[in-house]
Amino acid sequence: MSVLWFVLGAALVALCALEVFEGVVLPRRVARPYRFARLYYRVGWDVWDWLAGLLPPRRREVFLSIFGPLSLLGLFALWAVGMIVGFALMQWATAPKLPDFGAAIYFSGTTFTTLGYGDISPVGPVPRLLAIIEAGSGFGYFALVIGYLPALYQAFSRREVLISMLDVRAGSPPAAGRLLLRAGPERDGTLSRFLQDAERWSAELLESQLSYPVLAFYRSQHGNQSWLAALTCALDTSALLLTVVEGTDRQQARLTFAMSRHALVDLALILRRPPKDLGDDRLPEGRLRALCKALREAGAMVRDDEAAFAKLKELRGLYEPFVAGMARNYHLSVPAIWPEAEGADNWQTSAWMRRAGSLGTLSIDRPPGHFD
């Protein structure tokens, strides 16, 4: 029986150590199908999602935003408990002078956390070796956790930069139609620079959320913004520039579209979120023609023939099902390409003063702080 307890304890420690290595140290996706962390997040998110459905809609977004950070702390705690129990089983199997298994758990916990009260000491070469290994493992584990959190939050902060920039460029939530209209005709290179930024941001998004999959559960500061909405806006903008809008850097639009779709499809694959039917059309033909008209009035060169519309529909079919799958799982809204209703951007609202006007209404001839 002692051999069985020892083998079970060693297997538990090895499994937890492997999970920690794959989740914290290894900077790439893990192809192994059976992982505790994957099961933990799948079951945990389903339960959290069910609890969120019991809350009023105005509190649901805040509740969902707690899951990412809280689940990470819970996972760290479970890994630590698993290793403490595993070492306790090995100590219980090799140290006959321990009065009971509770004493083995206590001794293992004080050793793993390097408290070392000294009221229980290992006797014999094997228990002493196990104590040394456990103390070193605990010290290394807490060092990894302490170093992991700053890197995770740095990746989160970098992800949010473009999302915040889209507020004034494309509205809240971001819409590709607004972005094209606000940027205007391609004269000063503003749109091309945005496409370059979006391409780089998509690549960083892919790499950061492959290394830290929990970031997919981290929500943005505002409920009408998200990493998925920003990625969708970049894809929509690139698709429009490649089909119905002329006079822009089409090569850069191709690069941005390819990188953004690559990020979306790979994340859907790694996070195991299959494509879904989007449902309502995000850009009906009537709205598409109205957008073309508005762009033409703004000075852009537009193709509004059936061939261009068919190509746009084809490009949208390459990414919208993946957007729908991710949005349904994480309860993130998918922005319209050109919404009918125009709400206030996040930068225009404040709890301490009246709503700011559009930047297009500002004039240097008016007093500072004057808004229409």
Going by pLDDT thresholds of 50, 70 and 90, the confidence category of residue 3 is: confident
Q: What is the DSSP secondary structure assignment for residue 349, as one 8-state letter? A: -
Spelled out in words, what is the top-level CATH class assigned to the domain 2-147? Answer: mainly alpha
pLDDT for 77:
93
Q: Which of 128-137, 186-195, 249-258, 300-309 has the lowest mean pLDDT?
A: 186-195
List Cβ neighbours of 297 (8 Å cut-off, separation of 6 or more): none
**Percent of the chain at pLDDT exceeding 90:** 27
Residue 67 to residue 305: CA distance in whole angstroms: 47
Each residue of 313-325: pLDDT tens digit?
999 999 999 999 9
Helix (H) or strand (E) holding 125: helix 125-170
* pLDDT computed for residue 372 by the predictor: 39
Distances (CA, A) of 93 to 3, 87, 107, 301: 7, 10, 13, 78
The reported pLDDT for the residue numbered 352 is: 65
Quickly state the pLDDT bin for 369 (edges 50, 70, 90). very low
Residue 215 to residues 171, 172, 330, Cα–Cα distance (Å): 23, 21, 11
Res. 249: pLDDT tops 80: no
pLDDT in tens, 275-323: 888 778 888 888 888 888 888 888 888 888 888 889 999 999 999 999 9
- pLDDT above 60 (res 1): no
pTM of the model: 0.83
- 72-122 pLDDT tens trace: 999 999 999 999 999 998 888 887 777 788 888 888 888 888 887 777 777
Tens digit of each residue's pLDDT (9 = 90 or more) over 325-344: 999 888 888 888 888 777 77
DSSP characters over 254-293: HHHHHHHHHHHHHHHHHTT-------S-SS-HHHHHHHHH
Cα 180 to Cα 301: distance, rounded to the nearest angstrom: 12
Question: Residue 364: what pLDDT?
Answer: 38
**Phi and psi angles of residue 42, each rounded to the nearest 5 degrees, phi first:** -65, -50
Q: How far is it, in rounded angstroms, from Cα 78 to Cα 82?
A: 6
Q: Across residues 30-58, what is the average pLDDT?
A: 84
How much of the chain is in helix, strand and coil states, percent to nearest 5? Answer: 70, 0, 30
Backbone angles phi, psi at 301, to 5 degrees: -90, 125
Residues 183-223: tens digit of each pLDDT: 876 666 778 888 999 999 999 999 888 888 888 899 888 87
pLDDT score, position 265 = 92
Question: Can you give the residue ranges of every domain in the chain?
Answer: 2-147, 171-360
239, 364, 247: which is closest to 310 by C-alpha?
Answer: 239
For residue 370, pLDDT beyond 60: no
For position 357, what pLDDT does the model report?
62
Shortest CA distance to 163 belongs to which of 193, 192, 205? 205
